[in-house]
């Protein structure tokens, strides 16, 4: 008797307990997700039907979700990044990747020229072409009598061959190429490989340019391109005024006004060239740069300034370098240099070196630390510009054949002359 | 190698490009710049005479030496006055640069020499040079070479900016085939030499052979020999570096090749941070694809054979079977059948995780 009573009591209490538990668990599983799911199953094991497992409240972040930002949609050619930063493309996809997205809007990019080689013109041309292709306004100042003539040398966009993707693009997402030997693999179905990032949008942001073809006429003649001849300027007042009026049209203040969202680019070639009228006035040039920088901060533009570093005196040159937000320099390489050919792979194809001294960062205290700061400038298929990390040639000459095509790789410090 | 430079000057201005310009830069320690300049000048005139150069004539802007000096020099080589009249024009900025001599003084009018009175006006120099090129006959297609015997003297009278723009405008002018000029680097700030190097396409520096500048013993040597280092900027952005030894002799200048290693200097200036290449070549990728990994072939219906580092059991069984056949013949002899303890265990042992590696 007592036994059966106990049993009944037991039976009665259990469903109640189970009910309570499940109610409790039901409320909590909203916040605790997966952990509670298993306990829901355990507590209803006594008598009730198990509830269907709730899907966990953790979900894999889809790679295509865009970061939230106050601006609902970025204008074409502008990429939004962390810390409220926005980038525009430099025209060279490799350089965008190295700099962490592109040139920061509102920053000054300075390129120190090498008097022996015209590589800074490559950077300048790609920068300007990218702006024109995206329909951004452009202000160009050059030390020639006919600055418009320089626009005729701008490269056209490389016609995209969708089947041929550059091998470097695949590497970060190429998990399918990594074969893992796992003894339980046969018990699981094939996992879906992660979606490759939607390449189309990425290509639009930063295009490859074909240096052998020049940009279409109608693009060059568009009204939002201005040119200034700096050779005949005896002081920088005119340049300063023109830059200010250009930048005020692209002010960042009116964010709500959608029509005002387009970015602008200022490209100044060889600002300190010896033939320019204002050449002797070092301090005036510095104050021009300072005022340009101040105007840029409150506008949606990027300025790219190249200058021949060797012509300036040391102290003035240092001041220029400090004024830059992003500082790059180009260097020529000697021709038929056997030592350099032995040291680096792909020496024959290299045009020059690009050195990244400083990378701009806004709204953050964390600096950008690059794993390699010197890159070689090469032409891919003689058409478009690529930047590659420098690779040390193998010491043993016989195995040189397998390393014939140099690619980017992970870091390993090697001093050039130590073996 | 100096021949290389002369060849570039001879070829002159390529289509769609600016004229090549050679800067000869010397210093106090190896003051042989004027000899080098003379060499290039005279070589060029003989090229013009042979009509092998793009330029049909040469305009010499004489700042440092009197025009007669050059005419005498050319005569001593073998050019006579009539030939010179055809090809050479000299803009005399030496005799009366600031216009101090009165206008009444006699000046013989020479076809070759044109006196310039106002050297401070750089635009005037530019115009005079162009006038001389047009004046010597020839249509707008003929080109001339221009030589400045001293840029330093020009810089005395005008600013660096105006001299630079003069040189650049000459380079881009359609009637100019090539330029060459001499500069002493000690007489001005380094900025001036740097600007000149920036503008030029070929830079020839004369350096003394011994770097010990204060030693008197080497001074005499420095007046007769020097290292002629040339930096040629090529169109593809590479720089060609050449080095020769220049010796001053009785009748001119001789260039001898040097067998030294100038490249060590170059590589030391460029020390990039170099990494090792970890990418695979195509062949290596194929080989990698062909490797069969341990568990990959499971689930294909084959027997799972666990590799346990020893001879496989099936092999053992075959051997034992053979042995048994043999042994039946020797059944009268004693036998030892040894079974290892670990043979009893299943191959998937917990002790050694590699025991269940299936290759």
* Min Cα separation A55/chain B (Å): 31
Tokens 């055809």 found at: B86
> Which of B161, B270, B279 is facing A280, going by the closest CB pair?
B161
Do B261 and B255 meet the contact criterion of CB atoms below 8 Å apart?
Answer: no
Tell me the pLDDT tens digit for each residue of A93-132. Answer: 888 888 888 899 999 999 999 988 888 998 999 999 998 8
* Nearest-CA distance B344 → chain A (Å): 23
Cβ–Cβ below 8 Å for A333 and B191: no
Alpha-carbon gap: A401 to the closest alpha carbon of chain B (Å): 9
Residues of chain A in contact with residue B358, where contact means CB-CB under 8 angstroms, are 183
Chain A CB contacts of B126 under 8 Å are none
Is B168 close to A373, i.e. CB distance below 8 A? no
How do A374-380 and A384-389 pair as beta strands?
Answer: antiparallel
| Residue B154 CA: distances (Å) to CA of A227, B38, B100 | 32, 18, 17
Per-residue pLDDT of chain A (419 residues; tens, 9 = 90+): 444 444 444 444 444 444 444 444 444 444 444 444 444 444 444 444 445 555 666 665 554 444 444 444 567 778 888 777 888 888 888 888 888 888 999 999 999 999 888 889 989 999 999 988 888 889 999 998 888 888 888 888 877 664 344 444 444 444 456 777 776 776 776 554 343 344 444 457 888 888 888 888 888 888 888 898 888 888 889 999 999 999 888 877 655 455 556 788 999 999 999 988 888 899 999 999 999 999 999 888 999 999 999 999 999 999 999 999 999 999 888 888 777 787 787 788 888 889 999 998 888 888 888 878 888 888 887 777 777 777 766 665 443 333 333 333 333 333 344 44
The one-character DSSP state at A84 is G
CB contact under 8 A, A392 and B236: no
- Which of A311, A374, A412 has its CB closest to that of B272? A374
Chain B: give the shortest CA distance to residue A173, in Å: 15
A266, A224 Cβ separation under 8 angstroms: no
Using a CB-CB distance cutoff of 8 angstroms, which residues of chain B are in contact with residue A340? 263, 266-267, 270
Q: Do A181 and B296 touch (CB under 8 A)?
A: yes
Q: Closest partner residue to B165 among A231, A344, A351, by Cβ?
A: A231
ipTM: 0.71
Quick one: closest CA in A to B159, which residue?
A: A280
Size of interface A-B (CB pairs under 8 A): 166
Quote the Cα angle for A172-A178-A183, to 5°. Answer: 145
Question: To the nearest whole angstrom, how far is the Cα of B267 from the nearest Cα of chain A?
Answer: 7
- Answer yes or no: do B279 and A338 touch at CB < 8 A: no
Which of B161, B191, B275 is facing A409, going by the closest CB pair? B275
How much is the average pLDDT of B259-276? 53
Q: Quote the CA–CA distance of B154 and A170 in Å, as a whole number.
A: 59
* Shortest CA gap A162–chain B (Å): 21
CB spacing of A115 vs B198 below 8 angstroms = yes
Q: Which of A91, A149, A99, A128 is nearest to A384 (CA)?
A: A91
Contact B276 A392 (CB under 8 A): yes
pTM of the model: 0.71
B161 with A276: Cβ contact below 8 A? yes
Q: pLDDT category, B46, cuts 50, 70, 90?
A: confident
Pairing status of strand A350-358 against strand A374-380: antiparallel
With beta carbons less than 8 A apart as the criterion, state whether B259 and B244 touch. Answer: no
Using CA atoms, how far residue A45 sits from A17, A18, A22, A196, A404, in Å, is: 12, 9, 11, 43, 65
Place of tokens 């503008």: B199
Q: Do B263 and A339 lie within an 8 Å CB cutoff?
A: yes
| Backbone φ/ψ region at A69: left (φ over 0), alpha (ψ -120 to 50), beta | beta
**Sequence-ordered list of residues with C-beta below 8 angstroms from that of A316, at least 6 positions apart, any chain:** A282, A286
User: Which residue out of A114, A116, A211, A306 would a mutagenesis test of the B interface target, given it has the greatest number of B Cβ atoms within 10 Å?
Assistant: A116
Mutate to test the interface with B, among A182, A274, A331, A396 (most CBs of B within 10 A): A274
Q: Which of B198, B206, B202 is nearest to B234 (CA)?
A: B202
Inter-chain touch A280–B168, beta carbons under 8 Å: no
- The verdict on a CB contact (< 8 Å) between A351 and B272 is no
Q: Do A116 and B267 touch (CB under 8 A)?
A: no
More confident residue, B295 or A400: B295
User: Are B276 and A389 in contact (CB < 8 Å)?
Assistant: no
Distance (Å) from the alpha carbon of B240 to chain A's nearest alpha carbon: 5
Terminal-residue alpha carbon distance, chain B: 65
Distance CA A97, CA A111 (A): 18
Contacts of A405 in chain B (CB under 8 A): 279, 281
pLDDT at site A204: 73
From the CA of B296, how many Å to the nearest CA of chain A? 6
pLDDT digits (tens, 9 = 90+) for A224-240: 888 988 888 888 899 99
Q: Which residues of A43-59 are buried (b: 16+ CB within 10 A; e: fewer)?
A: bbeeeeeeeeeeeeeee
């Amino acid at each position: 008797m007592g036994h059966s009573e106990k049993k009944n009591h037991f039976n009665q209490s259990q469903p109640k307990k189970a009910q309570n538990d499940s109610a409790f668990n039901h409320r909590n599983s909203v916040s605790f997700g997966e952990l509670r799911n298993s306990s829901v199953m355990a507590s209803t094991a006594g008598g009730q039907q198990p509830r269907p497992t709730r899907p966990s409240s953790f979900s894999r972040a889809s790679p295509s979700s865009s970061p939230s930002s106050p601006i609902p949609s970025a204008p074409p050619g502008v990429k939004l990044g962390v810390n409220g930063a926005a980038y525009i493309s430099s025209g060279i996809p490799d350089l965008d990747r190295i700099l962490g997205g592109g040139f920061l809007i509102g920053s000054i990019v300075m390129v120190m020229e090498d008097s022996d080689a015209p590589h800074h013109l490559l950077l300048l041309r790609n920068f300007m072409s990218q702006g024109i292709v995206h329909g951004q306004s452009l202000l160009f100042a050059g030390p020639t009598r006919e600055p418009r003539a320089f626009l005729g040398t701008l490269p056209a966009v490389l016609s995209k061959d969708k089947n041929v993707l550059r091998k470097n693009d695949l590497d970060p997402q190429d998990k399918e190429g990594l074969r893992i030997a796992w003894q339980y693999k046969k018990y699981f179905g094939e996992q879906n490989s992660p979606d490759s990032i939607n390449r189309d949008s990425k290509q639009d942001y930063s295009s490859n340019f074909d240096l052998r073809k020049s940009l279409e006429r109608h693009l060059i003649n568009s009204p939002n391109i201005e040119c200034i001849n700096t050779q005949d300027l005896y002081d920088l007042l005119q340049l300063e005024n023109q830059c200010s009026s250009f930048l005020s049209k692209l002010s960042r203040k009116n964010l709500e006004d959608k029509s005002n969202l387009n970015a602008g680019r200022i490209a100044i070639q060889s600002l300190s060239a010896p033939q320019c009228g204002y050449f002797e006035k070092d301090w005036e040039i510095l104050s021009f740069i300072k005022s340009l920088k101040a105007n840029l901060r409150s506008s949606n533009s990027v300025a790219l300034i190249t200058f021949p570093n060797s012509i300036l005196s040391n102290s003035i040159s240092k001041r220029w370098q400090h004024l830059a937000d992003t500082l790059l320099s180009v260097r020529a390489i000697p021709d038929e240099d056997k030592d350099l050919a032995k040291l680096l792979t792909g020496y024959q194809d290299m045009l020059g070196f690009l050195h990244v001294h400083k990378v701009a960062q806004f709204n953050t205290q964390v600096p950008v630390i690059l794993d390699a700061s010197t890159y070689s400038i090469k032409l891919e298929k003689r058409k478009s510009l690529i930047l590659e990390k420098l690779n040390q040639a193998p010491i043993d000459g016989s195995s040189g054949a397998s390393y014939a095509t140099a690619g980017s790789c992970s870091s390993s410090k090697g001093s050039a002359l130590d073996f | 190698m100096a021949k290389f430079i002369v060849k570039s000057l001879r070829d002159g201005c390529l289509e769609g490009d600016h004229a090549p310009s050679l800067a000869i830069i010397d210093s106090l320690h190896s003051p042989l710049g004027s000899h080098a300049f003379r060499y290039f000048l005279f070589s060029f005139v003989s090229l013009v005479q042979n009509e092998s150069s793009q330029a049909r004539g040469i305009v010499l802007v004489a700042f440092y030496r009197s025009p007669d000096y050059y005419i005498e020099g050319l005569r001593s080589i073998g050019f006579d006055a009539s030939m010179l009249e055809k090809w050479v024009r000299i803009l005399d900025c030496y005799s009366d640069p600031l216009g101090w001599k009165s206008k009444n003084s006699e000046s013989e009018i020479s076809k070759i020499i044109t006196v310039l009175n106002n050297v401070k006006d750089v635009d005037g120099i530019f115009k005079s040079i162009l006038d001389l090129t047009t004046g010597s006959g020839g249509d707008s297609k003929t080109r001339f070479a221009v030589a400045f015997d001293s840029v330093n003297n020009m810089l005395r009278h005008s600013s660096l900016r105006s001299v630079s723009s003069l040189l650049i405008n000459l380079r881009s002018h359609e009637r100019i085939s090539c330029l060459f000029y001499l500069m002493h680097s000690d007489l001005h700030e380094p900025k001036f030499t740097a600007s000149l190097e920036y503008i030029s396409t070929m830079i020839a520096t004369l350096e003394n052979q011994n770097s010990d500048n204060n030693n008197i013993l080497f001074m005499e040597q420095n007046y007769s020999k020097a290292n002629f280092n040339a930096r040629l900027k090529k169109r593809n952005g590479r720089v060609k570096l050449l080095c020769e030894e220049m010796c001053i002799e009785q009748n001119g200048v001789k260039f001898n090749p040097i067998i030294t290693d100038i490249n060590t200097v170059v590589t030391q200036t460029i020390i990039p941070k170099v990494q090792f290449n970890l990418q695979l070549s195509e062949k290596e990728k194929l080989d990698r694809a062909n490797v069969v990994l341990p568990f990959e072939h499971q689930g294909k219906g084959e027997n799972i054979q666990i590799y346990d580092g020893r001879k496989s059991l099936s092999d053992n069984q075959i051997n034992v079977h053979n042995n048994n056949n043999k042994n039946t013949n020797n059944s009268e002899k004693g036998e030892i059948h040894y079974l290892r303890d670990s043979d009893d265990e299943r191959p998937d042992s917990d002790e050694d995780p590699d025991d269940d590696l299936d290759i």
